Amino acid sequence: MRRSVAIFLLINVAIVIYLVSSVWTLLSLLVVDGSADAISRAELPGPASSSPTGDRKELIPRIIHQTYVNESIPPHWEEARQSCLALHKDWEYNLWTDKKARDFIAQEYPWFLETFDGYTYPIQRADAIRYFVLAHFGGIYLDLDDGCNRRLDPLLTYPAWLRRTVPTGISNDAMGAVPHHPFFLRVIDALPRYDKHWMLPYITVMGSTGPLFLSIIWRHYNVDLGAELEMERVRVLMPDEYVGNSWSFFTHHLGNSWHQGDVKMILWMRDHWVFLLILGFFIAGVVFFSAWSIYKRFLRYRSTAGAHAFNFTKRIPFLNEAAAEGYELLNRGRPQREHEV
Ligand SMILES: *[C@@H]1O[C@H](CO)[C@@H](O)[C@H](O)[C@H]1NC(C)=O
């Protein structure tokens, strides 16, 4: 009995080591908070400051990119969009409609067109196009539900930045970069490799193009970065500077009345992927301990009803070996137990 238990545990330990190493990046996302690369509020001029970028040079071009199906922006997002347009009249503005996005990919990145067209969910295309336009033109990408609380000039002084989400990870709803920044080049290069179907649509969207995908690339990028070249660094906009304070850059508009069940669920899961990740590990733990208790009961059953177990295992060839071992152990069982007492 004890040898079978040891084998069971050994196999499980091997499985756990394999699983942990294959999700190591995900686990590290639970503890890496991006504070090392945070855009410090101390270095940000106030919204009404007489020197809008401090003494820092603007690096990112003055362009705002947004995406929507077509040019008819729903009224509940128009307010948010106008708040940004009104503050940045001297900036270029690009609305990437579905048609414009596809034409752009077909012309500039033909190697990606097959993946782009092949995405099951339109939201995957909306995710992907934002990485391509940032890699290509540079500028600032904003989701349509992000309004502007102040001018974004200070955010142009970093070569690249992403937005931190709570409690961990980063999102893809507001981000900026200079053209051809190595991080976004890496992101677009990785997209075809991450185009995989997971069982649930929500996980597929998050893991193939969404915030989870971006967070994983971000982790790999930072681990590989090594030498800290300022131009290669990806800075992180922290929650307090993102929204909710007088000095924050953005306002959040939750006008998502058009969201049908599926889209709503996808968006919810995109925003709560950390919670889902923890839930996943919890379920894995439950599965492990269930397997363990079933196996324990199986062994006990065999040792109390030997003949029955023999008939049972004879029909399942791969169990024969285990059965033979079980008998061997059963025969030695009693003396061993006496030793233990
Ligand atoms: C734009 O897209 C929306 C949502 O799919 C649709 O309801 C609307 O009819 C479209 N407008 C035009 C002008 O095609």
Domain ranges of the chain: 34-259, 277-340
Distance 70 CA to ligand 1 centre (A): 6
Look-up: residue for tokens 């059953």?
A: 301
What pLDDT, on the 0 to 100 scale, is given for residue 229?
A: 84
Side chain identity at residue 143, one-letter code: D
Q: From the CB of 283, is ligand 1 less than 6 Å away?
A: no
Q: From the CB of 69, is ligand 1 less than 6 Å away?
A: yes
Q: Quick one: which atom of ligand 1 is closest to the CA of 258?
A: 4
Q: From the CB of 70, is ligand 1 less than 6 Å away?
A: yes
Nearest alpha carbon, ligand 1 atom 8: 72
- Whether the CB-CB separation of 200 and 120 falls below 8 Å is answered with no
Mutate to test the pocket of ligand 1, among 67, 70, 99 (most ligand atoms within 8 A of CB): 70
Distance 85 CA to ligand 1 centre (A): 22
Q: What is the DSSP string of 117-156?
A: HH-SSHHHHHHHHHHHHHHHH-EEEE-TTEEESS--GGGG
Nearest alpha carbon, ligand 1 atom 4: 69
Nearest alpha carbon, ligand 1 atom 7: 72
H-type helices in the chain, by residue range? Answer: 2-22, 24-31, 75-87, 98-108, 110-118, 122-137, 182-190, 201-208, 211-225, 239-242, 261-271, 273-304, 306-314, 317-340
In angstroms, the CA 77 to CA 293 distance is 53
Q: From the CB of 260, is ligand 1 less than 6 Å away?
A: no
Mutate to test the pocket of ligand 1, among 72, 95, 144 (most ligand atoms within 8 A of CB): 72
Distance 72 CA to ligand 1 centre (A): 6
Residue positions counted in the chain: 341
What pLDDT, on the 0 to 100 scale, is given for residue 272?
A: 76
- Whether the CB-CB separation of 171 and 211 falls below 8 Å is answered with yes
Mean per-residue pLDDT pooled into runs of 10, the chain (341 residues)? 79 84 80 87 90 90 97 91 96 97 98 97 95 98 95 96 85 96 97 91 88 92 81 94 94 60 62 80 86 83 63 48 44 43 37
The class of domain 34-259 in CATH terms is: alpha beta
Distance 197 CA to ligand 1 centre (A): 28
For residue 159, whether the previous peptide bond is cis, meaning omega lies within 30 degrees of 0, is no
Mutate to test the pocket of ligand 1, among 67, 68, 69 (most ligand atoms within 8 A of CB): 69
What pLDDT, on the 0 to 100 scale, is given for residue 326?
A: 43
Distance 206 CA to ligand 1 centre (A): 25
Distance 71 CA to ligand 1 centre (A): 8
Distance 90 CA to ligand 1 centre (A): 29
What pLDDT, on the 0 to 100 scale, is given for residue 21?
A: 80
Q: From the CB of 72, is ligand 1 less than 6 Å away?
A: yes
Q: From the CB of 246, is ligand 1 less than 6 Å away?
A: no
Q: From the CB of 99, is ligand 1 less than 6 Å away?
A: no
User: Phi and psi of 167, rounded to 5°?
Assistant: -85, -15
